[in-house]
Structure 1
Amino acid sequence: MLADPALAEAEGCDAAEPRPGRTIGYAQGRFHDLAYVEWGDSASPHTVLCLHGLSRQGRDFDPLARALVGLGYRVICPDIVGRGKSGWLADPELYGLPQYVSDMAALIAHLGVERLDWVGTSLGGLVGMVLAGAQNTPIRRLVMNDIGPFLPWAALRGIGNRLREAPRLHHSLATAEARLRSALRDFGTLTDAQWRAMTRHSFVPEPGGTWRPHYDPAIAVAFRPGRVYNVTLWRDWDAVRCPVLLLRGETSDLLLPQTAAEMTRRGPRATLVEIPGCGHAPALFDDGQIRIITDWMGRAG
């Protein structure tokens, strides 16, 4: 259910802190939980939905959400099915873009908004692109963080390899953090406190004092050897009509320079900003990176 601002105030809740929410999605004869956190005033007429990347979860957007709340926005940060606090799918073959698009459409309906802005990192940007290009889309502005309509197979293979090689259990949170720092080094320079915060939301405690990644290992099924190839979604990109801000990590191997340049020339003709010191994908923890988005979006209203 949507949070009631009056109830939140009565219970002493701070609108500047995240509040858990939940709805449901549907896949092949079975419903599953879709978890999200909500920031800001639920009565705000301007909503931003922030969607994470392939093996991440919604709390990656905490710093950006706080900044957007300060500008008057209501912010929704979901966990894609199979990640974070959302449910897992019974059939791993269903982990893919069509399911994620369907689930986010269900979430938008649950939120009861006619219009919203979208910020998507990597996979979250692809989901936003497909929805923004649909007829009668509710998306009025789109921020795509280091993703585009052409995905080279070599970069996808690397992502799949890292997923398959990730340890299923860690004996301490310290070893889990070390693994995260290595796997996500292309996110850019983060402080120790930021790495700790990311680690806290990226691993789940297990009996016996071990820690497991927050996601269903079966999300890697789509990246098995022999199933990875170039992905082209230019038709979806060309269907987008809303304004688009495109962020690219300086050394990204997933959003190639030529792809980003082409996105500024066709379809919605994105505004491109390249972010130095990182690859795929900018973490959006840094004040300067956050300011790029908030300056482009402006105050709610």
Structure 2
Amino acid sequence: MIEARYLEIDGALGFVEIISPETHSDTEAPAVVCLHTAGQSGVQWRHVASDLAGHGYRVIVPDLPGHGRSEPAVDGPVTSLVTYGDWLGKALDLLGVERPHVIGCSIGGKLTLELATRPQRPLAGAIVMAAEAGLGRVNVNGLRRELEDVAGPSRAERTYLGTLASVGHAVPEPKARIIATMHKREDPEISSSDLIGWGTHDVRDRLGDLTCPIHLVAGAQDPWIDAAAVEDAAVTINADRPGLARYTLLDGVGHYPMEEMTDFAAVAAEWLNQLRSVLLAPVGVLS
């Protein structure tokens, strides 16, 4: 079953799509929140959400403020991923969802790290894709200057070509062009503000506060991140809490695994099952 809901959060309406499995009731199915990338919306999960629900998960796909079908934040475009994290917490409260799994990509990946390191609201598990624990690799000052001229007509083409450059070489050209065409629908003011949040967000000093097992994922052809830094974060986590973190490098994949990989729902379901097994394992036998 697919449900669309508008939630009033901080004086504006936020849109959430919920896909429930036919084999479980809402109260029985574990919840997984899927977070989109900078400037985009839950439409990025259109090829994944229903299939993931078919694996027994209640899939929750929000549009962050100012994205997709959500109204903009009343104070204007958001430049802090901490603010987005607070908004997501309020959305989950309104939906009555406690301790979900969260899977996010790019700023959604950084948001997943933000949520996973909040002891006051523990998660069941976290899958962080295309994101480092440290500062994002962008020129924040340049982005702030670009906001003054962000509506120029060439911006859509820059988004289109930039997306093509961020997709892995294993993706067939027609599929890559569809991904890029969908991405250039973004609001450039929102996406530039998101990237400021990406470039200034850092949870390296909070990794010890992780509330759940975590799976860090990098595309081998992702130009936005340093895969070695992602792997180092997993090593750092496991040095303090052995077995809590996994790391996967995806060959032939760029910055958007859920859009690039045709079998992503099955892969994600396996990752989620692995996280659930870690969570349920007795202390001392995490693997």
Tell me if both proteins adopt one fold, taking TM over 0.5 as the criterion: yes
**Is 2:52 the counterpart of 1:68?**
yes
Equivalent AA in structure 1 for residue 267 of structure 2: I
Correspondence 1:186-205 to 2 at 5 A: 186-188=166-168, 189-190=171-172, 192=174, 195-196=177-178, 199=181, 202=183
* Structure 1 residues 170-189: aligned runs within 5 Å: 181-185=160-164, 186-188=166-168, 189=171
Q: Which piece of structure 1 moves more, 255-264 or 152-161?
A: 152-161
Per-residue deviation at 1:64? 1.9
Change in CA separation of 1:33 and 1:19 when aligned onto 2, cut-off 3 Å: same
d(CA) in 2 for partners of 1:292 and 1:160?
A: 37
Aligned residue in 2 for 1:246? 216
1:277 aligned to which of 252, 263, 274: 252
The CA deviation at 1:155 is 6.9
Choose from 4, 14, 18 the match for 1:34: 14
Distance 1:240 1:159, change over 3 A: farther
1:298 corresponds to which residue? 273
Residues in 2 aligned to 1:252 and 1:162: alpha-carbon distance in whole angstroms: 23
Is the contact made by 2:49 and 2:265 (CA closer than 8 Å) also made in structure 1? no
Q: What CA distance in whole angstroms lies between the structure 1 residues aligned with 2:261 and 2:124?
A: 25
**SS at structure 1 position matched to 2:112:** helix
The 8 Å contact of residues 38 and 195 in structure 2, kept in 1 or not, is answered as: no
Cross-structure match for 1:135: 119
The structure carrying a bigger strand percent of its residues is: 1
Counterpart for residue 220 of structure 1 = 192
Distance verdict in 2 for CA 1:110–1:167, change over 3 Å: same
1:279, CA displacement in angstroms?
Answer: 3.0
Cα offsets for 1:59-98 (capped at 9, x unmatched):
1012221221111111111111111111113434643212
Asked whether the 8 Å contact 2:35–2:62 carries over to 1, the reply is yes
Distance 1:112 1:198, change over 3 A: farther
Q: Identify the residue that residue 210 of structure 1 maps to in structure 2.
A: none
The equivalent residue for 2:232 is 262
Change (3 A) 1:187 1:21: farther
After TM superposition, give the deviation of residue 134 of structure 1 in Å: 1.2
Amino acid at match of 1:276: D
CA contact (8 A) 1:40 1:73 kept: yes
Work out whether residues 122 and 211 of structure 2, in 8 Å CA contact, stay in contact via their aligned partners in 1: no
Alpha-carbon RMSD across the aligned residues, in angstroms, is 3.6
Matched residue type, 1:257: A
Deviation at residue 146 of structure 1 after TM alignment: 1.0
- CA separation in 1, counterparts of 2:216 and 2:233? 8
Give CA deviations for 1:142-165 in whole Å, capped at 9, x if unaligned.
010111211354476898899888
What TM-score does the superposition give when structure 1 sets the normalisation length?
A: 0.73
Residue type at the aligned position of 1:50: C
Work out whether residues 250 and 274 of structure 1, in 8 Å CA contact, stay in contact via their aligned partners in 2.
yes
TM-score, normalised by the number of residues in structure 2: 0.76
**Deviation larger for 130-139 or 51-60:** 130-139
- Take 1:274 and 1:163, find their aligned partners in 2: how far apart are those partners? 34
- 2:17 partner SS: strand
Q: Would the alpha carbon gap of residues 153 and 191 (structure 1) be closer, same or farther in structure 2, given more than 3 Å must change?
A: closer
Give the length in aligned residue pairs.
264
Identity %: 19
Q: Give the letter aligned to residue 208 of structure 2.
A: D
The alpha-carbon deviation at position 168 of structure 1 amounts to 5.5
In the alignment, structure 1 residue 84 sits paired with structure 2 residue 56: no
Counterpart of 1:115? 99
Distance of aligned partners of 1:257 and 1:286 in 2 relative to their CA distance in 1, 3 Å threshold: closer
Q: Using a 3 Å threshold, how does the CA distance of structure 1 residues 74 and 130 change in structure 2: closer, same or farther?
A: same
Q: Which amino acid aligns with 2:225?
A: L
